Homo-oligomer: A and B are copies of this chain.
Amino acid sequence: MALPISPLAPKTHAVPPAIAGVRFATAEAGIRYKGRTDVLLAVFDPGTTVAGVLTRSLCPSAAIDWCRANLPGGTARALVVNSGNANAFTGLKGKQSVELTAQIAARAVGCAPSEIFLASTGVIGEPLDATKFDGVLEGLAGTLVAEPWIDPARAIMTTDTFPKLAEATVEIDGVAISIAGIAKGSGMIAPDMATMLSFVFTDAPIAAPVLQALVARHNQTSFNAITVDSDTSTSDTLLAFATGKAAIAPIDSLSDPRAETFGDALKTVLFDLAMQVVRDGEGASKFVTVTVTGAQSDDSAAKIARAIADSPLVKTAIAGEDANWGRVVMAVGKAGQPADRDRLTIAFGDIVVARNGERAPDYSEDAASAYMKGDELTLKVDIGLGDGKATLYTCDLTHGYIDINGSYRS
């Protein structure tokens, strides 16, 4: 199924720089797709640290199990990603497939299997024949390059309609530190770690525990702040690799102020990638920022924002360009969080549609209708109870979502 490029796609894509100590290659292994790359091998110089956040699904994929087991080691020599088959819910075969893939990659790269990180995305429940990687990975190991990043970004796509790239450069101790990131994901994007796959690479010399803390922190306001359809993938993976090639003293502690500086740059990249995932939400025609303020706590605000952003009725109203605040009230009411109907204020953009629990006296349906025709919308809800606030990013629910997901396997 060839999908048209999302109308919300960025007009141009980032062109991240080469990252010293990272080289990669892609191949057509024919796992599921024909005529496109579907395998990525990224190889890291010795000394590369790794950190990551993985799905909270209690039925994770075999690759997730593998990464969870090896992340505590803190070092990585290679990343192997395939698209087309998620190797999830494949039982013992899945575990064997992951082990075999790691062995093949370790042999090709010359390292221990535990330093190989793996991710798979695509259909769930189909065994992944790892012998397909035999020969392929060795071949890739002989053709490694440092750019362009669009190649790995393309190789990891499934129902994505555009490749997702981001970059940031930050000066630390007078040295330019680079971060390159790629991501894929457009459906099954949901609570608690909301992407299928994202990989970030930097030349910063940063200890694995520090990297882990920064990735976890900034994941909260990026990938954990988006939702397309409320469905949580079995394969959600965010991994960050730091080669340490930049000529600055190692960042070994979170209390080192340089960790904060680096973290800000990392945050930029993660946020950029997460927004691209929403912009490629399956069938999306509107990009929607949901801001909740005045809740009893930030956590309460986040739960209310998620109830709004996940509501099929709110999402279909937005698709229909209908400023239907009644459905927003419904979603606030179902969130199970402290709320007082008669204190709610609801605005679409700067147009306050409801205040103190009823339609705003100065509300103009025409102005609201005109606003709803835009493809970048902000929905603001003030609960009127406290200082808690949260922002979530989502998209509308359209016929396109049904088209894509009513026929994915066939």
Contacts and interface: CB of A to CB of B under 8 A. Distances in A.
Contacts of A188: 313, 330
A311 interface: yes
Given A60-B333, A320-B406, A407-B320, A326 B91 contact: no
Please give the count of copies of this chain that the complex contains.
Answer: 2
A92 B234 contact: no
Interface in A304-333: 310-313, 316-317, 319-320, 322, 324-327, 329-333
Contact of A319 (B127, B339, B402): B402
Contacts of A399: 399, 402
Contacts of A33: none
Given A59-B333, A402-B316, A405-B313, A91 B232 contact: no
A113 interface: no
Classify chain A: how many residues form its interface, as a range. 35 or more
Nearest to A326: B124
Given A57-B333, A229-B312, A322 B410 contact: yes
B333 A234 contact: yes
A263 interface: no
Given A60-B333, A232-B334, A341-B59, A320 B125 contact: no
Given A324-B408, A354-B89, A408-B317, A359 B231 contact: no
B342 A91 contact: yes
A224 to B, nearest CB: 14
Contacts of A109: none
A161 to B, nearest CB: 18
A245 interface: no
A406 B127 CA distance: 39
A401 B313 CA distance: 9
A191 interface: yes
A336 B58 contact: yes
Nearest to A405: B316
B401 A58 contact: no
A130 interface: no
Given A322-B409, A398-B402, A402-B316, A91 B59 contact: no
A379 to B, nearest CB: 14
A317 B58 contact: no
A334 B56 CA distance: 7
A333 B58 contact: yes
Contacts of A59: 329-330, 332-333, 339, 341, 344
A163 interface: no
A230 interface: yes
Among A58, A230, A317, A322, the one with the most B-chain Cβ atoms within 10 Å of its Cβ is A58
Contact of A341 (B56, B89, B311, B324): B89
A313 B405 CA distance: 7
A336 B191 CA distance: 11
A86 interface: yes
Nearest to A322: B409
A52 to B, nearest CB: 18
16 contacts: A57-B333, A59-B330, A59-B341, A60-B333, A89-B329, A89-B358, A90-B357, A124-B329, A231-B312, A233-B330, A234-B330, A312-B397, A316-B406, A317-B405, A317-B408, A319-B406
Given A92-B342, A231-B311, 13 more contacts: A58-B337, A89-B341, A124-B325, A125-B325, A125-B358, A188-B313, A230-B230, A231-B327, A231-B334, A316-B405, A319-B402, A324-B409, A398-B406
